[in-house]
Amino acid sequence: MENTLLLVIFSLLTSLLTFILTITSREIINGRRTRQRAVGFFHPYTNDGGGGERVLWCAVKAIQEESPDLDCVIYTGDHDSSSESLMSRALDRFGVQLLTPPKVPTSNLSRTLYSLDENLMWVDFNFCNFCLFDVTLCL
């Protein structure tokens, strides 16, 4: 009798756990299907007008042309940058006509990454540092 009761309790708990996991996994899968997709760029100096900035705007334009459903997000250290000002600067300085203005979040992440970039002492490892920043953005 005691073994039967334990078996019934175990079966009920297992069924409940399976039900909860099934519902949770469905929610995660449906959430991934319906969420807005985006591509992010970390560029600390979008106001400089150098060659790196032209590469940035050409990459944004290429992504917008190839996948118009993707949002382009620019994480920058320039605190006075807005979507419209960046779009007009890309056209005025480099002749790159973007299809839509890129999104510029006003988050602490941009400021944190910018301050990390400003305080780097090893210039030789600049590429490695940008790779580290990209991994941080992905998380």
pLDDT in 10s for each residue of the chain, 139 residues: 677 888 888 888 899 889 888 888 888 777 777 777 888 888 877 776 666 788 889 999 999 999 988 889 888 877 777 888 888 888 888 889 999 999 888 755 545 555 555 555 545 556 666 677 666 666 5
**pLDDT for residue 125:** 58
pTM as predicted: 0.58
Sign, CA dihedral 109-83-72-54, equals: negative
Token pair 């006003």: residue: 106
Short-list 37, 138, 134, 48, CA closest to 86: 48
**pLDDT for residue 112:** 55
CB 53 within 8 A of CB 45: yes
With 0-12 CB in 10 A as exposed, 13-18 as middle and 19+ as buried, what is 123?
exposed
Q: What is the chain's mean pLDDT, rounded?
A: 78
